[in-house]
Structure 1
Amino acid sequence: MGFVLLAVVALALLVAVHRYVWRRFVGDTTATGSRLRRAGTVAAYVLPLLSVGALVSGRSGVPFWLQQVLAWPGYLWLAALLYLTLALLVGEAVRPLLRRLLARRATTAGAGADPARTPETEQTAKAARTPETERAGAAGSDTRTAAPPAPPAPPSSQAAAASASRRLFVARAVGGAAAVAGLGTVGYGTYGVLRGPRVKRVTIPLARLPRSAHGFRIAVVSDIHLGPILGRAHTQRIVDTVNRTQPDLIAVVGDLVDGSVADLGPAAEPLAGLRSRHGAFFVTGNHEYYSGAAQWVDHVRELGMHPLENARVEIDGFDLAGVNDIGGESEGQGPDFGRALGDRDRSRAAVLMAHQPVLIDEAVAHGVDLQLSGHTHGGQLWPGNYIAELSNPTVAGLERYGDTQLYVTRGAGAWGPPVRVGAPSDITVVELASKHA
Structure 2
Amino acid sequence: MIKDIMIRLILVLSFFFAYTCFKAIQINPLHQYTMILISFVFFASMVSSIFINRSRPEVFKTPWFMILSWVGSTFMGFWGTYIMIAIPIDIVAVGYAFFNHGVSFLTSNAHFGIFLLALCMTVFGFISVVRGPKIVKVNIPIPDLHPSLEYIRIAQISDLHIGPTIQSRYVRRVVEKTNELDPDIIVITGDLVDAHTESIKQHLQPLSDLKSRHGVFYVTGNHEYYWGMKTLFSELRNVGLTILENENKIIEINGSKILLAGIPDPMAGQLGESFRPDLKKARFTQIKTDFNILLAHRPDPYSLAEEQGFHLQFSGHTHAGQFFPFSLLIPLAHKFYRGLNRHGEMWLYVNPGTGYWGPANRFGIASEITLATLTKTS
TM-score, normalising length: structure 2? 0.86
Shift of 1:71: 1.7
Query: Which residue in the other structure is 1:81 paired with?
Result: 79
Query: Which residue in the other structure is 1:54 paired with?
Result: 49
Query: Which residue in the other structure is 1:99 paired with?
Result: none
Alignment deviations for residues 112-170 of structure 1 (CA, whole Å, 9 cap, x no partner): xxxxxxxxxxxxxxxxxxxxxxxxxxxxxxxxxxxxxxxxxxxxxxxxxxxxxxx99x6
The answer as to whether partners of 1:248 and 1:278 remain within 8 angstroms in 2 is: yes
Please say if 1:187 is aligned against 2:123: yes
2:74 match: secondary structure: helix
Please say if 1:428 is aligned against 2:373: no
Please say if 1:225 is aligned against 2:161: yes
CA distance, structure 1, for counterparts of residue 86 and residue 16 of structure 2 = 16
Query: Which residue in the other structure is 2:96 paired with?
Result: none
Please say if 1:25 is aligned against 2:27: yes
Aligned partner of 1:367 among 299, 309, 333? 309
Matches within 5 A, 1:43-192: 43-62=38-57, 63-64=59-60, 65=62, 67-86=65-84, 171=108, 173-192=109-128
Q: Name the count of aligned residue pairs.
A: 356
- The 3 A distance-change label for structure 1 pair 92 and 400 is closer
Please say if 1:414 is aligned against 2:350: no
The answer as to whether partners of 1:91 and 1:174 remain within 8 angstroms in 2 is: no
CA distance, structure 1, for counterparts of residue 138 and residue 215 of structure 2 = 20
CA distance, structure 2, for counterparts of residue 90 and residue 329 of structure 1 = 37
- The 3 A distance-change label for structure 1 pair 311 and 199 is same
Query: Which residue in the other structure is 1:154 paired with?
Result: none
- The 3 A distance-change label for structure 1 pair 47 and 379 is same
Query: Which residue in the other structure is 1:157 paired with?
Result: none
The answer as to whether partners of 1:88 and 1:174 remain within 8 angstroms in 2 is: no
Please say if 1:327 is aligned against 2:235: no
CA distance, structure 2, for counterparts of residue 176 and residue 390 of structure 1 = 30
Structure 2's unaligned 5+ residue stretches are 94-104
CA distance, structure 2, for counterparts of residue 283 and residue 86 of structure 1 = 32
- The 3 A distance-change label for structure 1 pair 4 and 307 is closer
Matches within 5 A, 1:205-284: 205-207=141-143, 209-284=145-220
The answer as to whether partners of 1:25 and 1:175 remain within 8 angstroms in 2 is: yes
The answer as to whether partners of 1:208 and 1:348 remain within 8 angstroms in 2 is: no
Alignment deviations for residues 84-107 of structure 1 (CA, whole Å, 9 cap, x no partner): 3455569879x9xxxxxxxxxxxx
CA distance, structure 2, for counterparts of residue 344 and residue 190 of structure 1 = 49
Shift of 1:174: 3.3
- Moved segments of 4+, more than 4 Å: 1-6, 86-93, 344-347
**Rg: which structure is higher?**
1
CA distance, structure 2, for counterparts of residue 86 and residue 68 of structure 1 = 27
1:420 match: secondary structure: coil
The answer as to whether partners of 1:26 and 1:41 remain within 8 angstroms in 2 is: no
Higher relative contact order (CA 8 A, sep 6+): 2
Q: Which moved more, 1:264-273 or 1:1-10?
A: 1-10
Shift of 1:40: 2.3
Shift of 1:404: 1.7
- The 3 A distance-change label for structure 1 pair 15 and 176 is closer
Query: Which residue in the other structure is 1:298 paired with?
Result: 234
Matches within 5 A, 1:342-381: 342-345=284-287, 348-381=290-323
> Residue type of the partner of 2:168?
R
CA distance, structure 2, for counterparts of residue 194 and residue 288 of structure 1 = 24
Shift of 1:340: 1.4
- The 3 A distance-change label for structure 1 pair 45 and 199 is same
> Residue type of the partner of 1:330?
Q
Shift of 1:38: 4.3
- The 3 A distance-change label for structure 1 pair 38 and 8 is closer
TM-score, normalising length: structure 1? 0.75
> Residue type of the partner of 1:73?
V
Structure 1's unaligned 5+ residue stretches are 31-35, 96-166
Q: What is the percentage of aligned positions where both structures have the same residue?
A: 30
